[in-house]
């Protein structure tokens, strides 16, 4: 899975404005929009963008930008309030001259629209439980459409939350068939984001390509030193002093997609394997939730195989 949606370049936008607009065009009077921009760096972009927004009677609430000297690319995120009755289509049409003049890659989002998220899990439920709690307390801007698993372990948990549960057991023989079912569910549920909450199956290259930019994964940060089974046991044997986690976009290159966020916790000689596992699970839950929050608030932009994060 490549790490971001494919944006339209400034030269392509004119005939397909609606491709740049999220579902749901009528906004409430107090709705906020967020505009994401990526382009070749050049003078005047910030001023032109700000002038376009203000000329539409919008009020800029938050603005951040970054110019990468090593790549010559410019990145910008602007959050703003809009006047009553303004739609995404209306804003996009008025912004088009600026986008075209500066050849911007851009996308505008309605911040009142929660992303529709599918959570995939195997048998470890720490990340799943954390995501469900944060969602139920409105600490994450997502609506969970379903929970998908290759095991039945968390069906009762899904039932308790009132979230549809789908059991898709995977074998080498049925992998492609089950992935086809998964794609059908993604389409039917209009899924914006897939969260691999310790889902212990490798997605096929074909699936990664079809779900480009829509999948976030979490794993421990012992990689590549301790691959495979029982990494915490082998890390304990080596006397590691930190355990950590990495959240990243999924690509066809296993565990090598653009990194969104990471964190670590310190361990010492007195900690047992169980202590390491417990700390690792806490860190994984925290890091995954942070990555989902950043993505759902449209704060992540791709810069090659790296990310620009506007906090």
Residues with catalytic roles: 255
* CB neighbourhood size of 182 (10 A): 22
Measured between its terminal Cα atoms, the distance across the chain in Å is 24
Q: How far is CA 122 from CA 28, 114, 128, 151, in A?
A: 39, 25, 10, 6
What is the C-alpha to C-alpha distance for residues 283 and 289, in angstroms, rounded to an integer? 10
Cα–Cα distance measured from residue 93 to residue 18, given in angstroms and rounded to the nearest whole number? 9
CB 4 within 8 A of CB 80: no
**Taking a C-beta distance cutoff of 8 angstroms, is the pair 245, 284 a contact?**
yes
**Cα dihedral 112→82→290→76 (10° resolution):** 140
Sheet holding 215-220, edge to edge: 165-167, 142-149, 115-121, 193-196, 215-220, 242-249, 259-266
DSSP strand pairing (193-196 vs 215-220): parallel
Closest to 93 in 3D by CA, of 21, 27, 33, 161: 21
CA-based nearest residue to 5, from 210, 214, 298: 214
Q: Which residue reads 């806490």 in tokens?
A: 282
How far, in Å, are 129, 159, 161 from residue 136 at the CA level? 11, 14, 9
Instruction: Write b or e for each residue in 158-168: b if 16 or more Cβ atoms lie within 10 A of its Cβ, otherwise e.
Output: beebebebbeb
């Amino acid at each position: 899975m490549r790490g971001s949606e494919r944006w339209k370049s400034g030269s392509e936008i004119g005939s397909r404005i609606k491709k740049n607009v999220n579902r749901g065009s009528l906004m409430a009077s107090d709705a906020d929009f967020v505009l994401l921009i990526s382009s070749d760096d050049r003078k005047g972009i910030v001023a032109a963008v700000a002038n376009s927004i203000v000329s539409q009677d919008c009020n800029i609430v938050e603005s951040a930008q970054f110019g990468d000297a090593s790549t010559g690319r410019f990145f910008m995120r602007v959050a703003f309030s809009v006047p009553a009755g303004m739609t995404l289509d209306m804003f996009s049409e008025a912004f088009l001259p600026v986008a075209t003049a500066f050849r911007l890659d851009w996308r505008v989002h309605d911040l009142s629209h929660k992303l529709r998220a599918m959570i995939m899990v195997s048998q470890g439920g720490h990340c799943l439980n954390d995501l469900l709690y944060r969602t139920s307390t409105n600490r994450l801007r997502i609506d969970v459409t379903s929970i998908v698993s290759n095991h039945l372990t968390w069906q009762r948990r899904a039932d308790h939350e009132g979230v549809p549960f789908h059991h898709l057991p995977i074998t080498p023989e049925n992998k492609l068939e089950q992935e086809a079912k998964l794609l059908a569910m993604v389409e039917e549920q209009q899924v914006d984001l897939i969260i691999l909450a310790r889902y212990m199956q490798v997605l096929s290259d074909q699936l990664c390509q079809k779900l480009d930019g829509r999948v976030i994964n979490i794993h421990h940060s012992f990689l590549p030193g301790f691959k495979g089974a029982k990494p915490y046991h082998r890390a304990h044997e080596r006397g590691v002093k930190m355990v950590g986690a990495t959240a990243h976009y999924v690509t066809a290159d296993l565990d090598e997609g653009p990194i969104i966020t990471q964190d670590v916790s310190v361990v010492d000689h007195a900690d047992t394997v169980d202590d390491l596992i417990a700390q690792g699970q806490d860190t994984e839950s925290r890091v995954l939730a942070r990555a989902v929050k950043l993505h759902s608030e449209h704060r992540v932009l791709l810069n090659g195989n790296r990310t620009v994060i506007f906090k």
